[in-house]
Amino acid sequence: MLENLSDKLEGIFKKLKGRGLLKEEDIDLAMKEVRVALLEADVNFRVVKDFIANVKEKAVGKDVLESLTPGQQVVKIVHDELCNLLGSGENRIKLAANPPTLIMMVGLHGSGKTTTSAKLARLYKREGRRPMLVAADLQRPAAIDQLITLGKQLDIPVYSAREAKSPAQVAEEAMKKAKLEGRDIVILDTAGRLHIDEALMAELKDIKANTPPHETLFVADAMTGQEAVNIAKTFNEEIGVDGVILTKMDGDARGGAALSIRAVTGKPIKFIGVGEKLDMLEEFHPERLASRVLGMGDVLTLIEKAQKSYDQKEAEALGKKILSESFTFDDLREQLKKLRGMGSLESLLSMIPGLGRQLKGVKIDEKEFVRVEAIINSMTKAERTNHNLINGSRRKRIATGSGTTVADVNRVIKQYVEMKKMLKMFKGGKGLRLPKMMPF
């Protein structure tokens, strides 16, 4: 996400921070480079023009140029302006005072509406709400089937009426059913087209007139860049939208849509899709994305991911195992599964300030986790509990059973023993030196 832009900005500001004093000419030169970097990231040219003007106005002030750390202050100004550009303030979906809340998802075909609808429903279910999905795309039977399949995976009901006369009728009947069943969130997956046309807009206007949604969210494919921004602007002008969900943010190294869409449409980004899996939808936080763009990491998102993977009881149980020195291979396997569930290792490392930059270009082999799990799975219960039982012949058997080599098995056992030593030091309150457990 915005990797190319982040790299270029880091290089520009590194030169600024390396100078003891800054002159107005230095700021001008840096801002020219920033302008080029933003345009190359596919940021709207009007947005770039205003952004550069705002930064220059604040950066050439006397307090900045004559300060002890002018370069750092310029970076702070850029960070603050990025936050303003991305949209500060409350971006959460406003729920209806009298449930159910109707959320209408709109956008072109291929933007990820159906999958994003399911992701949003999953998010609300995890918050303790009772969502219902509605298949209102009568043009594409496959879309209805897809939503039903996703609903089954999530154990969330899906309302569909293939014989309905219109999507407006589907929406109206779905709301009645939701009230009868006590559903408090209704997510309406509407039809899309390969391009904007009158028929699509008429259909969406009909739904809004007949069953007014509490929120209309435009779903845009971030990889389409400025085209996504232009389409969002048209949808907002034609039917009115309350917010934006950007999908495929994990696959767009430029990210210009994320930096432009708020300024062009005036509508906030509410969620971003960061992967294909159904748990990869995140609430959008402007200040966090701004920090990541400037290479400052994103510790808050990392903490939130960890909190979702580890509940309090599990953390307490793990703590007791550490204190009693009973941490086994089963425990190691469970921790690896939870770590994998938090996302790709590369994305997690990028959230740690400074570390993502230090490891840039380093090959991270995600398959190493799979190999470690396979090796542990090939052990007997007794071996997983007591590694001292694993002699030479047992190591050969484990290697054969896991499709790995004896060297691989030896390495995993060695890493496990190092981790046990580390945990013992932790118990004793001594200084820690983490063993090399990362798969690169």
Q: What is the pLDDT of residue 15?
A: 82
SS in 3 state form for 393-407?
HHHHHHHHHHCCCHH
The residue from 244, 270, 291 where one domain ends is 291
Tell me which of 430 and 163 has the higher pLDDT: 163
Q: What is the percent of the chain with per-residue pLDDT over 90, rounded to a whole number? A: 38
Say if residue 226 is in the same domain as residue 323: no
Closest CA to 167 of 210, 214, 213: 210
Closest CA to 26 of 11, 14, 16, 38: 16
Say if residue 237 is in the same domain as residue 126: yes
- The tokens for 184 are 């408090």
Q: Could you tell me if residue 296 is inside a domain?
A: no
DSSP structural state of residue 250: G
Say if residue 378 is in the same domain as residue 283: no
Q: In this structure, how many other beta carbons lie within 10 angstroms of the beta carbon of residue 316? A: 10
Q: Could you tell me if residue 437 is inside a domain?
A: no
Cα separation values, 261 from 115, 186, 229, 245, Å = 21, 26, 5, 10
Rg of the chain's alpha carbons, rounded to an integer? 26
Say if residue 278 is in the same domain as residue 316: no
Say if residue 55 is in the same domain as residue 170: no
Tell me which of 253 and 55 has the higher pLDDT: 55
CATH of the domain at 77: 1.20.120.140
Angle at alpha carbon of residue 107, lines to 101 and 110, rounded to 5° = 125
Say if residue 285 is in the same domain as residue 328: no
- The tokens for 4 are 């190319």
Evaluate whether 336 touches 345 at the Cβ level (below 8 Å). no
Got the DSSP string for 368-434?
HHHHHHHHHHTS-HHHHH-GGG--HHHHHHHHHHHTS-HHHHHHHHHHHHHHHHHHHHHHHT-----
Q: Is 195 helix (H, G, I), strand (E, B) or coil?
A: coil
Closest CA to 242 of 202, 207, 214, 280: 214
Q: What is the pLDDT of residue 398?
A: 94
Tell me which of 201 and 60 has the higher pLDDT: 201
Say if residue 310 is in the same domain as residue 412: yes
CATH of the domain at 150: 3.40.50.300
Say if residue 280 is in the same domain as residue 333: no
Question: pLDDT confidence of 431, banded at 50, 70, 90?
Answer: very low
CA dist., res. 308 & res. 120, Å (int): 16
pLDDT (tens digit, 9 = 90+) per residue, 128-142?
A: 999 999 999 888 888
Question: pLDDT confidence of 94, banded at 50, 70, 90?
Answer: confident
65-74, 297-306, 353-362, 381-390: least confident range = 353-362
Tell me which of 379 and 91 has the higher pLDDT: 379
Place of tokens 């050439």: 60
Q: Could you tell me if residue 93 is inside a domain?
A: no
Q: Could you tell me if residue 62 is inside a domain?
A: yes
Q: What is the pLDDT of residue 47?
A: 92
- The tokens for 159 are 């309302």
Residue 421's domain spans which residues?
302-428
- Mean pLDDT (the chain, rounded): 82
Tell me which of 360 and 53 has the higher pLDDT: 53
Q: What is the pLDDT of residue 358?
A: 46
Q: Could you tell me if residue 92 is inside a domain?
A: no
H runs (alpha helix) in 276-389:
286-293, 299-309, 312-323, 329-341, 345-350, 355-358, 367-377, 381-385
Torsion of CA 109, 115, 120, 126, to 10 degrees: 180
Residue 195 has pLDDT above 90, yes or no: no
Evaluate whether 269 touches 247 at the Cβ level (below 8 Å). no
Say if residue 313 is in the same domain as residue 235: no
- Residue count of the chain, please give it: 440
Please state the separation of Cα 138 from the chain's center in Å.
Answer: 30
Average pLDDT score over residue span 15-31: 82
Evaluate whether 245 touches 270 at the Cβ level (below 8 Å). yes
pTM check: above 0.85: no
Q: Could you tell me if residue 297 is inside a domain?
A: no
Residue 433 has pLDDT above 50, yes or no: no
Evaluate whether 22 touches 59 at the Cβ level (below 8 Å). no
CA dist., res. 114 & res. 136, Å (int): 10
Cα separation values, 414 from 10, 301, 432, 436, Å = 38, 32, 17, 10
Q: Could you tell me if residue 95 is inside a domain?
A: no
Task: Report the half-sphere exposure of 78 (CA within 13 A, side-chain side).
Answer: 28
CATH of the domain at 383: 1.10.260.30
Say if residue 66 is in the same domain as residue 106: no
CA dist., res. 356 & res. 365, Å (int): 15
The residue from 86, 113, 132 where one domain ends is 86
Say if residue 283 is in the same domain as residue 157: yes
pLDDT (tens digit, 9 = 90+) per residue, 34-46?
A: 999 899 888 889 9
Q: Could you tell me if residue 116 is inside a domain?
A: yes
The residue from 237, 271, 291 where one domain ends is 291
Q: How many domains in the chain?
A: 3
Say if residue 259 is in the same domain as residue 341: no
Sheet (strand 281-283) strand order:
158-160, 131-135, 185-189, 101-106, 215-221, 243-247, 269-273, 281-283
DSSP structural state of residue 245: E
Classify the C-alpha dihedral 105-108-110-111 as positive or negative: negative
